[in-house]
Amino acid sequence: MSTSKCVNTSKRLDKIPPYLFAEIDKKIDEAKAEGIDVISLGIGDPDTPTLPHIVQEMHKAIDDVSTHNYPPYQGTKAFRTACANWMKKRFNTDLDPNKEVLALIGSKEGIAHAFFAFVDEGDYTLVPDPGYPVYTNATYLAGGTPYFMNVGPDNNYMPDLDKIPEDVAKKAKLMFLNYPNNPTGAVANLEYFKKVLEFAKKYDVIICHDQAYCEMTYDGYIAPSFLEVEGAKDYCLEFFSHSKTYNMTGWRAGWVAGGEKLIKALGIIKNNIDSGIFKAVQQAAIVALETPQEEIDKLNAMYKARRDVVVNALREMGWQIEDPKATFYIWLPVPKGYTSAEFAALMLEKAHIVVPPGNGYGPNGEGFFRIALTVGEERLKEAMQRMKDAGIKFN
Ligand SMILES: *Cc1c(COP(=O)(O)O)cnc(C)c1O
């Protein structure tokens, strides 16, 4: 046993599973060292740059020296007002920018900190399985216990609330939902959100809705907001991200909207941990929220064209799939006889393609894999051809 203090990490760290891509990363490095041209369909990070009008505003903002000192903790008034105005225009929801909106250093920051604001030792959280890994891991970090709500083809990718055991529901402090969904590309409707709100009222559970992909939609589909449901505000925190919508993953900008008491609690955690978003970034993020719809439509048209390339090729290879209506992800079953990890390894070995195994998103993701449409159309065509050439098919 080592006597060095610096390896005595906290018990809470023991609960965090190894990084999803750790094993794959090793294999990618080996393949690259052999000179193999690997196509990564792994990462949920837009491959095209931040929209130019946002970059231009950033140049102006950074030359303004008044942006250089500490920002207000909760976000600048101008930023919070822009967020509230955006919610009004997009969802017709009324939010007080002074009390019901909080700036986040990217939505992931606020999502993780929400667990520290509401979850104690012994509390349950209700998390979708498969789902964005932060919901589960932040539960552990906060000392809580996640209850995995299965999402899959059987329930149309919307957790079956009746299946949550009564004693778990009673001890649950918050539920996370994420529509449009990562990793499945699934969408939910307002009818479902209404049922969730009834559940929240019955068991006094906070609903955290992650809408990182609410603007990335296709075929005329428009995603609803949880806050559109009448009376939702007091029970809901809704997280918005600039990252995927405006190609701003590196900028770290997002925000959360919801009931005053909930926003206040999250704010107390944040006040003691971070000091807000760079004011210049907030100024650029305001301009981002004012992006003309045509610009968003252009990005969505690009992703839709990529989606069509992939789903059409996959159908030729035997997969029976519907066109995902939103997100840049496609969630697929692995062929019979393979685990998720084995299939991911096969894809890398035989087709030199990287895909994350579904079980990296939760135990119920076993038997699936994810494709991210974050490389260009030509490269996607090549990837599909490589799969065909390798004889990979769904049986
Ligand atoms: C990308 C992503 C986020 C994180 O977005 P940031 O605002 O960049 O922190 C949150 N939730 C889901 C489901 C995501 O896929």
Q: What is the CATH number of domain 52-289?
A: 3.40.640.10
Q: Whose CA is nearest to atom 14 of ligand 1?
A: 212
Measured in angstroms, how far is the CA atom of residue 108 from the centroid of ligand 1?
6
Model pTM? Answer: 0.96
- The pLDDT assigned to 6 comes to 65
Measured in angstroms, how far is the CA atom of residue 318 from the centroid of ligand 1?
31
Measured in angstroms, how far is the CA atom of residue 6 from the centroid of ligand 1?
31
Q: Is 130 in the pocket of ligand 1 (CB under 6 A)?
A: no
- The pLDDT assigned to 2 comes to 45
* Structural contact between residues 330 and 373, judged by C-beta atoms closer than 8 angstroms: yes
Over pLDDT 70: what percentage of the chain?
98
> Of ligand 1's atoms, which has the minimum distance to the CA of residue 210?
11
Residues 6+ apart with CB under 8 A from 232: 193, 197, 207, 226
Q: Is 80 exceeded by the pLDDT of residue 266?
A: yes
CA separation for the pair 371, 355 (Å, rounded): 6
Over the stretch 185-203, which tens digit does the pLDDT of each residue have? 999 999 999 999 999 999 9
Q: Is 243 in the pocket of ligand 1 (CB under 6 A)?
A: yes
Q: Whose CA is nearest to atom 4 of ligand 1?
A: 108
CA separation for the pair 327, 188 (Å, rounded): 13
Encoded tokens for 276: 């807000």
Q: Is 106 in the pocket of ligand 1 (CB under 6 A)?
A: yes
Q: Whose CA is nearest to atom 11 of ligand 1?
A: 212
Q: Is 70 exceeded by the pLDDT of residue 166?
A: yes
Lowest mean pLDDT among 13-17, 54-58, 233-237, 383-387: 13-17
Residues 6+ apart with CB under 8 A from 28: 38, 40, 348, 354
Q: Amino acid letter at 331?
A: W
**Strand 353-354 versus strand 39-40 pairing type:** parallel
Measured in angstroms, how far is the CA atom of residue 111 from the centroid of ligand 1?
9
Q: Is 44 in the pocket of ligand 1 (CB under 6 A)?
A: yes
Q: Is 254 in the pocket of ligand 1 (CB under 6 A)?
A: yes
Measured in angstroms, how far is the CA atom of residue 32 from the centroid of ligand 1?
28
Measured in angstroms, how far is the CA atom of residue 251 from the centroid of ligand 1?
12
Q: Is 193 in the pocket of ligand 1 (CB under 6 A)?
A: no
Q: What are phi and psi of 241, to 5 degrees?
A: -125, 135
Q: Is 80 exceeded by the pLDDT of residue 98?
A: yes
Measured in angstroms, how far is the CA atom of residue 352 from the centroid of ligand 1?
27
Over the stretch 267-317, which tens digit does the pLDDT of each residue have? 999 999 999 999 999 999 999 999 999 999 999 999 999 999 999 999 999
Q: Is 50 exceeded by the pLDDT of residue 78?
A: yes
Measured in angstroms, how far is the CA atom of residue 311 from the centroid of ligand 1?
24
Nearest to 27 by CA among 16, 38, 43: 38
- The pLDDT assigned to 5 comes to 57
- The pLDDT assigned to 4 comes to 55
Q: Is 107 in the pocket of ligand 1 (CB under 6 A)?
A: yes
- The pLDDT assigned to 1 comes to 44
CA 379 to chain centre: 24
**Strand 368-372 versus strand 39-40 pairing type:** unpaired
Region 154-164 average pLDDT: 96
- The pLDDT assigned to 227 comes to 98
Domain locations in the chain as residue ranges: 14-43+294-389, 52-289
> Of ligand 1's atoms, which has the minimum distance to the CA of residue 131?
13
Region 138-145 average pLDDT: 96
Over pLDDT 90: what percentage of the chain?
91
Measured in angstroms, how far is the CA atom of residue 212 from the centroid of ligand 1?
6
Q: Is 178 in the pocket of ligand 1 (CB under 6 A)?
A: yes
> Of ligand 1's atoms, which has the minimum distance to the CA of residue 111?
10
The mean pLDDT of the chain is 95
Q: Is 90 exceeded by the pLDDT of residue 3?
A: no
CATH topology of domain 14-43+294-389: Aspartate Aminotransferase, domain 1 (3.90.1150)
Measured in angstroms, how far is the CA atom of residue 393 from the centroid of ligand 1?
31
Residue 97 confidence class, pLDDT cut points 50, 70, 90:
very high
